[in-house]
Amino acid sequence: MTMSAQIDIRKVRGSSAIEIYVSAAPKDCASAQSQILEMFAGIREILSEEHASILQERIFTVAGALNIVSAARAEAYGDVDDGVAPSLLTGRRGRHGDIAGVQVHAVACSSRPEAVVVDGKRCGRILRMPGGAYVTLSGISGGKSGGRSEQARAMLEKAESALKQFEVDFACVPRTWMWLGDILSWYGEFNKVRNQFFEERGLIGKGSRQSMPASTGIGLGLGVGGQFGMDLTAVLEPADSIKFLGAIGRQQCALDYGSAFSRASRASSRRARRCLSRGRRR
């Protein structure tokens, strides 16, 4: 690609679709606008060449660069932009400047994703294809009112409400990503909220199958909409196709130390096993 950007591509080929994972990062300390324009232009080129559509997207930057990022993305994407906002994740300035990178999960198949709307905002996509149907949600937050526990509860309920549009719930979610801001200062508090929510939904606790999504929790802030937020992937079809692996190898079950997530999850389509996910300790 160009001198200021480095782009890595990985493809997973299935019988009815090709999944494309793109990671773009700056290579030097050029201006933030130059870096982000090159990254998005490179992503746009890949999507065009592969006839692919975005399923989920994350941008890692600093809070002060959000306007530059949004404007550069809109300029580079043009009609590729379907109006679904990416997760804008903020942290410290990196070694190459204000922009740390962009991650895109795209798919090339006979159908295109459609936007999912929550509270009047396009914040996810649904993809229906031969052998399955999948939903992604990005940047779901609990708003800014109340304390952190109240916001975390509202975030989970908002994600649940979005899933109910498709007559599913968290039992159909193999993978979540939690963007928790200053994670070390309140991880225990967050775990209590999530544990209670999952217990009330029958995902954990007595008589349950411990249907906890594999998950990653990271100390990054959500650029808009609240202090923190979450992304997720849900499997609508085939129904009951997810296997949750609470412990793997030397990694103990996270519930043993009070955190409700699986170490991995796997969803099977009618043609192949897909969506292998690893959950990190946080």
Radius of gyration of the chain, Cα coordinates, nearest whole angstrom: 18
Report the C-alpha gap between 225 and 223 in whole angstroms: 7
Cα distances (angstroms) measured from residue 253 to each of 246, 250, 258: 5, 10, 9
Q: Give the contacts of 120 (CB within 8 A, at least 6 positions apart).
A: none
Report the pLDDT averaged over residues 215-234: 93
Name, of 89-98, 181-190, 235-244, the range with top average pLDDT.
181-190
pLDDT, average across residues 163-170: 96
The helix or strand, by DSSP H or E, that contains position 56, with its residue range, turns out to be strand 53-61
Q: Do residues 214 and 264 touch, judged by C-beta distance below 8 A? A: yes
* pLDDT, position 282: 44
Beta carbons of 103 and 57 less than 8 angstroms apart:
yes
* DSSP-derived secondary structure letter, 183: H
* Confidence band for 147, pLDDT divided at 50, 70 and 90: very high
Specify the pLDDT at position 3: 64
Assign 178 a pLDDT band (cuts: 50, 70, 90).
very high
Q: pLDDT tens for residues 196-222?
A: 999 999 999 988 888 999 999 999 999
Q: In the chain, which ranges are continuous DSSP H helix?
A: 32-50, 66-77, 148-164, 183-200
Q: Is the model more confident about 130 or about 73?
A: 73
Share of the chain above pLDDT 70, in %: 93
* C-alpha pair distances (Å), 259 with each of 57, 116, 277: 26, 29, 17
Burial class (CB in 10 A: 0-12, 13-18, 19+), 81: middle
Beta strands 87-90; 221-222: pairing state? antiparallel
Q: How far apart are the C-alpha atoms of 220 and 139, rounded to whole Å?
A: 12
Phi/psi of residue 16, each to 5°? -125, 0
Q: What is the mean pLDDT of residues 227-253?
A: 92
- 8 Å CB contact between 229 and 218: no
Residues 6+ apart with CB under 8 A from 20: 9, 10, 11, 46, 50, 52, 104, 105, 106, 107, 108
Going from the N-terminus, what domains does the chain have, and what CATH number goes with each? 1-112 (3.30.1330.40), 114-282 (3.30.1330.40)
Query: What's the pLDDT tens digit per position in 26-73?
Result: 987 767 778 888 999 999 999 999 999 999 999 999 999 999 999 999
Average pLDDT, the chain: 90
Please determine, for residue 183, whether its predicted confidence score (pLDDT) is greater than 50: yes
Residue 97, phi then psi, degrees to nearest 5 = 120, -160
